[in-house]
Structure 1
Amino acid sequence: MKLIKKILLLHSFLLMSYAGFAQKQNFDAVFFTMPKGWQQQQGEGGLQLSVMDNKTGFYAIAVMTKANVSGASANENFSNDWLRLVKGSIQVNDEPSLQQPSKQNGWTVISGSANYTDGANKGTATLLTATGGGQAVSVVLMTNTKAYEKELLALLNSLELAKAPQTSTAAATPVAKGGTGKTAIVGLWCDNTLETTGSYVNGFPQYTAGYMRKEYAFYPDGTYLFRNKQWQTLMKDILFVYETGTYSVSGNQLTLTPKQGKGGWWAKGQSTKVWGNPVKTADYKLEKATYVFEIKYFSGSKDYCLILKMGGPTEREGNSISHQYEVSYKLMEGNKSIIDNPPGFKTGFENKQLPQ
């Protein structure tokens, strides 16, 4: 379709001011001008702009995501969002036709387009992904007609990005000999991943009630507590794992030496917050591991994140992580945990306190 070429030709002009348009709106890091007559709908993870002719079934859709924390490269972020936002919601016929990356306001922008099939009609999908300041944000455009070509091009011309946030890395000092002393990693760090159905509606992931939660509590005395709770809709029971031990920091390397721990399965209760009876123990092995780590501060979200990198899958992190073997944990304000122990279960760390 000619629309692909026109969209890609605009790549060098994207995310820059465009005179003569109405006052811009913004959603998170993205500024835009709303096309006249379009509808706007905000969801948990993004904003959708759309227009549709109910008689013909022709439509045009633009979806803007929130800026999310990401340690991946610009190419990786584009590839991940192409799979998640585009191929996850429509039948794409070809690989995206890519433009050379451009730099805009501290972001690296990659764009690409491809045709897709929508019943008897064919459409065009375009993805723009911006990576900068340890974050990534995307804009998806989809249409199955030329009727809204002018509105789409005007919307593309109006796009701007806020200045990419500045990231700073907090320095970590080694734990003093004898297991005492305070380091930058002291605190409660959590990863809360919500379960999805694997399908998307207009670019938005469809969530279930399930979740996968992991957390590390690093104490000033050089000990740690790791907990993992998984409540997934396709799993009959709840998985809970805990591990305690000691940690040491040397430069940018974090070594965990477990002392005790185990995993188990519990029956589900009447809601995701209710535990049933214990069912059986889980196969969980204690494993000493060394991570390359860094602590980043994201000024946009005002979050500290602990980034752990490893050479391969570990018993604690599991196999369901990215091919870079990298995981991220957010520092919890006030050391508020999002994981609860099964009824009557004790880790031995219940009375330990973290500094505020």
Structure 2
Amino acid sequence: MKLLKFLFLFSLLFVLSCTSFAQKQTFDVVSYAMPKGWQELKNDAGIQLSFTDKKTGDYAIAVITKVKASDASTTENFDNDWLRLVKGSVQVNAEPMMQESTKQNGWAVISGEANYTDGANTGMATLLTATAGRQTISVVLMTNNNKFQEEILAFINSLELAKPTQSETGNLIAATKINVVNPAMVGLWIDYNAETTGNYVNGNPQYTAGYTRKEYAFYPNGTYLFRRKQWMTSMKEILFVYETGTYSLAGNQLTINPKKGMGEWWSKAGQQSDAWGTRLKAADYKMEKVTYAFELKYFSGSQDHTLILKPLKPTQRDGGSFNNANDPYEFHYSLREKFGSLIDNPPGFKL
């Protein structure tokens, strides 16, 4: 497959749109022309434009982030968003090929691209990051086929940034100081435990099809999603818990502040651990604002990242301790950035 190897031979900067482009739309401080036939999806963090060929699986995606406050340099902002937006989504096997920073309408713009793999797909990822004063914004483009090249180039050439104002910058800084997110915290953190029979063969525990799975998804905008699913062969029912809210960091303290959530008991549908029956009743689950002492550890040998949460007292969210009686009361989560979640939602479940 031919990738967009010569994308940077064209204009990768935020420039005025040509008269041949479609009518402009505006998101935050960015104006753009959406390619014909693409789909649009907005959320609190940004906007995604995409097209997928359902027959071949070929796709093209463009993501525009919202302006956020930053005291970092243009290069540092690019590096942070490359790690968060590109490497956090797909597997990138090389450092991005960079272009020199340029000035556009008061913004310093830097761009880079690299090949990536996403399961069986390979493609090209491009990141454009603009910085002005103490704020930054990025545009990400990903495609696994060069047949979208003309549409992507037309989209890039339609991009236009509004001139930043001092008042906007001041408001952004003030808002961001409320909750400063550690980039190392962002991602999907999992605690998966398999059910055992209690028997051992040659010193190895014997497992059933049952499991208990807990997950925290910490997002860059300071929100989180917590889910817990318990499917045990020794129990007749399935327990499912979800919770959303905000989180904040202060030194080595992590505060979880839930806004919405609940627990549910479901019946089983046979002995398949990923099959749901019917919703039976609400579980006795209480949302709790909890402050944890936390540690982030990296093990170079296994290249694993571990998040250790230490509550001051037992919490319903954590569901008790899996440690031995004399072990510290703490919970270990592993970063799962490549393979995604193993918790499936009940039928009809939406956030």
TM-score w.r.t. length of structure 2: 0.54
Q: Secondary structure at the match of 2:6?
A: helix
Kindly state the Cα deviation for residue 101 of structure 1 after the two structures are TM-superposed: 0.2
1:191 aligns to what? Answer: 179
In 1, Cα distance between equivalents of 2:316 and 2:148:
50
- Aligned counterparts, 1:126-205, within 5 A: 126-166=126-166, 190-191=178-179, 193=181, 196-198=186-188
Q: Per the alignment, do residues 50 and 169 of structure 1 end up closer, same or farther by CA in structure 2, a change over 3 Å counting?
A: closer
Q: Secondary structure at the match of 2:71?
A: coil
2:52 aligns to what? Answer: 52
Q: Secondary structure at the match of 1:85?
A: helix
Q: Per the alignment, do residues 35 and 79 of structure 1 end up closer, same or farther by CA in structure 2, a change over 3 Å counting?
A: same
- Are 1:231 and 2:273 matched, yes or no? no
Q: Deviations over 1:63-113 (max 9, x none)?
A: 000000111000000000000000000011211000000100111000000
2:63 aligns to what? Answer: 63
> Is the 2:58–2:145 contact (alpha carbons within 8 Å) kept by the matching residues of 1?
yes
* Mean Cα deviation higher: 2-11 or 91-100: 2-11
Q: Which amino acid aligns with 1:160?
A: E
> Is the 1:123–1:142 contact (alpha carbons within 8 Å) kept by the matching residues of 2?
yes
Pick from 240, 245, 265 the counterpart of residue 312 of structure 2.
265
TM-score w.r.t. length of structure 1: 0.53
* Unpaired stretches in structure 2, ≥5 consecutive residues: 190-216, 226-243, 259-287, 294-309, 319-328, 330-351
Q: Which amino acid aligns with 2:256?
A: W
1:324 aligns to what? Answer: none
- Aligned counterparts, 1:1-356, within 5 A: 1=2, 3-11=4-12, 13-166=13-166, 190-191=178-179, 193=181, 196-198=186-188, 207-208=224-225, 209=244, 211-213=246-248, 230-231=255-256, 238-239=290-291, 265-268=312-315
Kindly state the Cα deviation for residue 22 of structure 1 after the two structures are TM-superposed: 2.2
In 1, Cα distance between equivalents of 2:245 and 2:186:
8
Q: Per the alignment, do residues 61 and 232 of structure 1 end up closer, same or farther by CA in structure 2, a change over 3 Å counting?
A: same
Q: CA RMSD of the aligned region, Å?
A: 3.9
Q: Secondary structure at the match of 1:79?
A: helix
* Unpaired stretches in structure 1, ≥5 consecutive residues: 171-184, 216-225, 242-262, 272-281, 283-356
Q: Secondary structure at the match of 2:312?
A: strand
Q: Which runs of at least 4 in structure 1 moved beyond 4 Å after TM superposition?
A: 167-170, 192-196, 203-206
- What percentage of residue pairs aligned between the two structures are identical? 47
> Is the 2:10–2:153 contact (alpha carbons within 8 Å) kept by the matching residues of 1?
no
In 1, Cα distance between equivalents of 2:78 and 2:150:
25
Q: Which amino acid aligns with 1:106?
A: G
Q: Per the alignment, do residues 232 and 92 of structure 1 end up closer, same or farther by CA in structure 2, a change over 3 Å counting?
A: farther
> Is the 1:237–1:268 contact (alpha carbons within 8 Å) kept by the matching residues of 2?
no
Q: Which amino acid aligns with 2:6?
A: K
Q: Deviations over 1:118-160 (max 9, x none)?
A: 3333200000000003110000000000121111111011011
> Is the 1:108–1:131 contact (alpha carbons within 8 Å) kept by the matching residues of 2?
yes
Q: Per the alignment, do residues 213 and 25 of structure 1 end up closer, same or farther by CA in structure 2, a change over 3 Å counting?
A: same
Q: Per the alignment, do residues 267 and 82 of structure 1 end up closer, same or farther by CA in structure 2, a change over 3 Å counting?
A: same
Q: Secondary structure at the match of 2:111?
A: strand
In 1, Cα distance between equivalents of 2:18 and 2:67:
23
Q: Secondary structure at the match of 1:148?
A: helix
Q: Which amino acid aligns with 2:248?
A: R
Q: Which amino acid aligns with 1:94?
A: A
Q: Per the alignment, do residues 207 and 7 of structure 1 end up closer, same or farther by CA in structure 2, a change over 3 Å counting?
A: farther
> Is the 1:24–1:31 contact (alpha carbons within 8 Å) kept by the matching residues of 2?
yes
Q: Which amino acid aligns with 1:197?
A: G
In 2, Cα distance between equivalents of 1:64 and 1:193:
20
Q: Which amino acid aligns with 1:230?
A: T
Q: Deviations over 1:24-55 (max 9, x none)?
A: 00111111001000000012201000000011
Kindly state the Cα deviation for residue 5 of structure 1 after the two structures are TM-superposed: 1.7
> Is the 1:238–1:266 contact (alpha carbons within 8 Å) kept by the matching residues of 2?
no
Kindly state the Cα deviation for residue 204 of structure 1 after the two structures are TM-superposed: 8.7
Q: Per the alignment, do residues 35 and 80 of structure 1 end up closer, same or farther by CA in structure 2, a change over 3 Å counting?
A: same
In 2, Cα distance between equivalents of 1:56 and 1:169:
44
> Is the 1:193–1:213 contact (alpha carbons within 8 Å) kept by the matching residues of 2?
yes
Q: Secondary structure at the match of 2:75?
A: helix
Q: Secondary structure at the match of 1:127?
A: strand
1:328 aligns to what? Answer: none
Kindly state the Cα deviation for residue 168 of structure 1 after the two structures are TM-superposed: 9.7
Q: Deviations over 1:146-198 (max 9, x none)?
A: 1211111110110111112226999xxxxxxxxxxxxxx9xxx7326497434
In 1, Cα distance between equivalents of 2:169 and 2:108:
20
